[in-house]
Amino acid sequence: MNPQEPTTFYAVNAFTGEPLPTAFPVHGEQEVNQAASAAQNVAREFRQLSNAKRASLLCSIASELEVKSEEIVARAHLETALPEARLSGEIGRTANQLRLFAEVVSSGNHHQAIFDTPNPDRQPLPKPDIRRQQIAIGPVAVFGASNFPLAFSTAGGDTASALAAGCPVIVKGHTAHPGTSQLVAECIEAALEKECLPQAIFTLLQGNKRALGQALVTHPKIKGVGFTGSVGGGRALFNLAQQRPEPIPFYGELGAINPTFILPSAIRANASLAEEFVASMTLGCGQFCTKPGVIFVLNSPETQAFIETAQGLIRQQSTATLLTQGIRETYESEVDKRASETGINVTRSEQAEATNVSPVLFVTDSKNWRKNPQWEEEIFGPQSLIVTCEDFDDMLKLSDSLAGSLTATLHATAEDEEQAKQLLPSLEEIAGRLVFNGWPTGVEVGYAMVHGGPYPASTNSASTSVGAEAIHRWLRPVAYQALPESLLPDSLKASNPLGIQRAIDGRVSQ
Ligand code: NAP
């Protein structure tokens, strides 16, 4: 690090823009080296730890978070301007997520044990005994997002799933909430101590220089990266991960417009549809990666009424404080730019004061949408765009032309079933999660959830960053050929000492 540069930085009060007390260290290459070497030194011991012990660690972290929840919520509120009730809910979600991964690890299903029964008499060649399981990939770097300072940050889904898999974790703390990150890291450190496990299993690095994240992604001892954030930042770090002498998996959960298709019968059937839409697009001040950013509707009298109701609701919205000054400035400049383009109608809420922004609803038609491919880019904040299509054929063609998204939503009734059937294959191809007659903003943490999708929603469309399946990002398969029982890992022993589910010759058995 340049000796002229400051060695500490301060968190910012999101409401006032003023620095908050407590200085945080600016970590750099030296700290990345130390943390990555220490993580590598404990990686084997940690991946070979029993499932029960790893589950216990995850539960201990959850309990520590709950004990410290008041302090964490108070600090996160100042750093992010998110309401305390929402942050308390996020503590619950983060703790539940950790406990879900404890359940996943306890079940042993993550080993994905598969057996091919040998056949020494097979002609022309004997069939060997092959057994396969998954093992942890090694130390993982995690970048949390600004908009979920708990559930997608220091002890969020990436950290929980990586620890569950048996990977040591190094978190690059987000500059928008360093105090929150520090408090959460202390909970993880306390849990490691309580479980008598090495502290090197988890490290938080902080700093306001992009060089820190870049050093982490390119460090030879880092074997995988979990990233939640912007398309620009995620793509830059993804490229670095692929350009390494040893490229590594990079799971980036990036931006999405979450297209929503509304068929006329749904507008007739649901009198509060416009209200629900505005509530979803302004939830968390529009700072949800699952915000419905573009709504496709058919040109009809009921659609016109839907649009006018939504515009009326937008005019009544309060102004909003966004997470950071940078996010506010980007939101304002992108909204102003879009508002100045031709063929787009703009409705704003009341005039925003200094540090707040106005929710905005744009309306255009499919002709202008096609002429302006830049409107397919996410604007992070309380803004959405309604596109009126000439007819269903026009809507169908547009659905086929969209880039990847985290979600795709369809509003329809039995009356439109034929049209719904025609839209669904297109929506499956662009999104990780399809929502029917609902709104995409909430993301349930469970066994079946998929939070991902084709690029730019994520950099790896074959994975999810939320839910039990997220653990598989940090595991890789190993096949064992002809190993004697005494040398096989427990998950593959004929005696099945872990009591886990295994697949034998393509059939699942106990
Ligand atoms: P961000 O600005 O990309 O920051 C994310 C993290 O990456 C931060 O730690 C940031 O460092 C770091 N970073 C960004 N660019 C970098 C670069 N070029 N080199 C090194 N480090 C870099 O994103 P954000 O503001 O936290 O989050 C908002 C965005 O995230 C929105 O677009 C939203 O849709 C998306 N998001 C996606 C999901 C999802 O699951 N798909 C969930 C939540 C949010 P600094 O701390 O130094 O800025």
Element (H, E) at 79: helix 69-80
Q: Given ligand 1 and candidates 24, 146, 181, 253, which is best to mutate, with the most ligand atoms within 8 Å of its CB? A: 146
**Residue whose CA is closest, atom 48 of ligand 1?**
175
User: Would you call 196 a catalytic residue per the annotation?
Assistant: no
What is the pLDDT of the chain when averaged over all its residues? 96
Q: Write down the pLDDT at residue 341.
A: 95
One DSSP character per residue, 33-78 reads: HHHHHHHHHHHHHHHTS-HHHHHHHHHHHHHHHHHTHHHHHHHHHH
* Active-site annotation holder among 31, 64, 79, 253: 253
How do residues 215-234 score in pLDDT, each as one tens digit?
Answer: 999 999 999 999 999 999 99
The yes-or-no verdict on residue 354 having pLDDT over 80 is: no
* Residues 292, 289: Cα–Cα separation, whole Å: 9
How far, in Å, is the centroid of ligand 1 from the Cα of 100?
25
The yes-or-no verdict on residue 439 having pLDDT over 70 is: yes
Ligand 1 atom at minimal distance to the Cα of residue 210: 20
Average pLDDT over residues 54-63: 98
Residue 410, helix vs strand vs coil: strand
The yes-or-no verdict on residue 1 having pLDDT over 60 is: no
The confidence band for 510, taking pLDDT boundaries of 50, 70 and 90, is low
**Residue whose CA is closest, atom 13 of ligand 1?**
233
For 459, counting Cβ atoms within 10 Å of its Cβ (0-12 exposed, 13-18 middle, 19+ buried), the class is buried
Q: Which two tokens mark 122?
A: 């097979």
User: Would you call 418 a catalytic residue per the annotation?
Assistant: no
Q: Which two tokens mark 41?
A: 């030194």
How far, in Å, is the centroid of ligand 1 from the Cα of 7?
23
Q: Write down the pLDDT at residue 205.
A: 98
Q: Write down the pLDDT at residue 6.
A: 84
Ligand 1 atom at minimal distance to the Cα of residue 234: 3
How large is the ipTM? 0.95
Average pLDDT over residues 204-212: 96
The confidence band for 500, taking pLDDT boundaries of 50, 70 and 90, is very high
Distances (CA, A) of 228 to 144, 234, 242, 441, 481: 5, 7, 17, 16, 38
Please list, in sequence order, all residues whose beta carbon lies within 8 angstroms of the beta carbon of residue 266, skipping any fewer than 6 positions away. 273, 411, 412, 413, 416, 437
How far, in Å, is the centroid of ligand 1 from the Cα of 253?
9
The answer for 142, left when phi > 0, alpha when psi is -120 to 50, beta otherwise, is beta
Write the secondary structure of 112-174 as one string of H (helix), E (strand) and C (coil).
Answer: CEEEECCECCCCCCCECCEEEEEEECCCEEEECCCCCCCCCCCCCHHHHHHHHHCCCEEEECC
Q: Which two tokens mark 180?
A: 């929150």
The yes-or-no verdict on residue 342 having pLDDT over 90 is: yes
Q: Which residue has 């799971």 as its token pair?
A: 251
**Residue whose CA is closest, atom 4 of ligand 1?**
229
How far, in Å, is the centroid of ligand 1 from the Cα of 145?
5
**Residue whose CA is closest, atom 22 of ligand 1?**
233
**Residue whose CA is closest, atom 39 of ligand 1?**
253
**Residue whose CA is closest, atom 33 of ligand 1?**
289
Pairing of strands 405-411, 507-509: unpaired
Q: Which two tokens mark 29?
A: 């290459």
**What count of other Cβ atoms lies within 10 Å of the Cβ of residue 177?**
29
The confidence band for 3, taking pLDDT boundaries of 50, 70 and 90, is low
CA geometry: angle at 159 spanning 153 and 160, to 5°? 115
| Partner residues linked to 19 by β-bridges | 12
* Active-site annotation holder among 285, 289, 378, 389: 289
The confidence band for 509, taking pLDDT boundaries of 50, 70 and 90, is confident
Q: Write down the pLDDT at residue 8.
A: 95
The confidence band for 73, taking pLDDT boundaries of 50, 70 and 90, is very high
Ligand 1: residues with CB < 6 A are 143, 145-148, 152, 172, 174-175, 208, 210, 213-214, 228-230, 233, 236-237, 253-255, 289, 378, 380, 406, 451, 465
Strands of the 360-365 sheet, one edge to the other: 345-348, 360-365, 383-389, 294-298, 260-262, 405-411, 431-436
The confidence band for 353, taking pLDDT boundaries of 50, 70 and 90, is confident
Dihedral (CA of 489, 492, 495, 497) sign: positive
Ligand 1 atom at minimal distance to the Cα of residue 254: 41
Helix, strand, coil % (nearest 5) of the chain? 45, 20, 35
How far, in Å, is the centroid of ligand 1 from the Cα of 229?
3
Ligand 1 atom at minimal distance to the Cα of residue 291: 34
> 237 with 214: CB under 8 angstroms?
yes
Nearest in space to 372 (alpha carbons), one of 398, 410, 395:
398
The yes-or-no verdict on residue 2 having pLDDT over 70 is: no
Q: Write down the pLDDT at residue 473.
A: 98
Average pLDDT over residues 365-369: 97
**What count of other Cβ atoms lies within 10 Å of the Cβ of residue 412?**
21
Q: Write down the pLDDT at residue 274.
A: 98
Q: Which two tokens mark 150?
A: 């708990």
Average pLDDT over residues 10-32: 95
Pairing of strands 169-172, 202-205: parallel
Q: Write down the pLDDT at residue 376.
A: 96
The yes-or-no verdict on residue 350 having pLDDT over 90 is: no
Q: Write down the pLDDT at residue 196.
A: 98
Ligand 1 atom at minimal distance to the Cα of residue 208: 47
Ligand 1 atom at minimal distance to the Cα of residue 214: 20
